[in-house]
Copies of this chain bind each other. A is one copy, B any other.
């Protein structure tokens, strides 16, 4: 019985159309299973009543939500925006809805969010990076919720991933920097704890140094949260020490932009006085003056590929397969040959 002025239910529709709730349900979920005439009658009732299925009830009965959750470290800067947008478009096309939450780079928040999303009936999860408590992976396995890692590629890890080789990408860039004659390098990195991308990027620089007979252990590294201001502070820090570097590799474009701006502030010319590089190739990288030499990450492709793979995992209960995407160096104006 419909309560006064409350949302109509399946029952109301069924009654109005003179059929059973089962038929209404089938009309909505699997139309070709019900004959045209009935279907028309049902749809008429749905429209007339302005019926919208109750999601919670549906999830509960079907044990399927057509919802995918994504937990990204931050929404504030644009690092994940483009990739996520592509991801969203792709899953939407496949009938899924995206739920996004952000963990503020805090493992414990991420864990809470994972549980929340699972409790909400997410059919699958998109996670960023591999670094996390194994307990939470067990949990996911137990709940049988497929999860895919993005922004990081690591075939050996427990969860399948779609991403790129952070170490190698950064190593290629550092190689280039060194080839340009720089020997006094420094790095401004994101916080590496619980962040494999950050850690691997540092490693990449070190490996490039080692390969070029520079001493990796001499690389000054400042770790700081990904914020423009922090990039600026780190830059000042680095440049006011004696024997300052001639090239600073930044863990991402946000930090690099901070560094570039601080350089201007300090009257240093980029790249004549100091070379600076970024990572990610977000929009900002092109806008800042001088524009950033950085690593281009195929955000949209990654998002799209992740969507395809995750939906496949959900629908076929496959374990998921990892894919490595290519990155490339984008030469712009913030890196120069040392003269």
Contacts and interface: CB of A to CB of B under 8 A. Distances in A.
Interface stretch (A114-122, A160-168, A188-196, A306-314): A114-122
A44 to B, nearest CB: 18
Interface stretch (A97-105, A126-134, A175-183, A200-208): A97-105
Contacts of A52: 115, 118-119
23 contacts: A50-B139, A50-B142, A55-B56, A55-B120, A56-B59, A56-B60, A56-B120, A56-B121, A60-B60, A75-B75, A75-B84, A76-B81, A76-B85, A77-B78, A77-B81, A78-B78, A97-B101, A98-B101, A99-B99, A228-B287, A284-B284, A284-B287, A289-B289
A88 B74 CA distance: 12
**Size class of the contact patch on chain A:** 35 or more
A261 interface: yes
A321 to B, nearest CB: 24
A50 B119 CA distance: 12
Given A52-B115, A55-B119, 14 more contacts: A5-B142, A50-B142, A52-B119, A55-B116, A55-B121, A56-B57, A60-B60, A76-B81, A76-B82, A78-B78, A88-B102, A257-B287, A284-B284, A284-B287
A119 B28 CA distance: 15
List the number of copies, as a whole number: 2
Contacts of A228: 283, 287
Contacts of A268: none
A204 B153 CA distance: 50
A7 B142 CA distance: 7
Contacts of A84: 75
Interface string A67-83: 00000000111100110
A240 interface: no
Nearest to A7: B143
Which residue, of A75, A85, A88, A116, has the highest number of chain B Cβ atoms within 10 A?
A: A75
Counting chain B CB atoms within 10 Å of each CB, the highest count among A56, A116, A118 belongs to: A56
A119 B55 CA distance: 5
